[in-house]
Amino acid sequence: MSAPRQVVIYSRKGCHLCEVVKETLTKLHRRGGFNLQEIDVDSDDQLRRQFTDEVPVVFIDGRKAFKYRMDEHEFLRKLAN
């Protein structure tokens, strides 16, 4: 059995799009199959400069998969590849 996929969402407090994507990821995470980590870009100066206002961003195994919005079915498809 292979190791679970690693999913990271870069977000910030007060970001409506971030909340929508986090809600979807949390729901999907309950099904299993991946580890989920949330990183607040405002917690680190370098991350704040890197992402500026371009959040949320979702990475799967270190590769950018989504920015701003995320389709649940497309996420599951990318997760399966």
Digit-coded pLDDT (tens) for 53-68: 899 999 999 999 999 9
What is the rounded CA–CA span in Å between residue 27 and residue 1? 23
Calpha distance 71→55 (Å, rounded): 15
pLDDT tops 80 at residue 2: no
Contacts of 51 (CB under 8 A, 6+ apart): 10, 41, 57
Spans of all domains in the chain: 8-80
Cα(4)–Cα(20) distance, rounded to whole angstroms? 23
pTM: 0.93
CATH class of residue range 8-80: alpha beta
Q: How confident is the model at residue 3 (pLDDT cuts 50, 70, 90)?
A: confident
Beta bridge partners of 36: 7
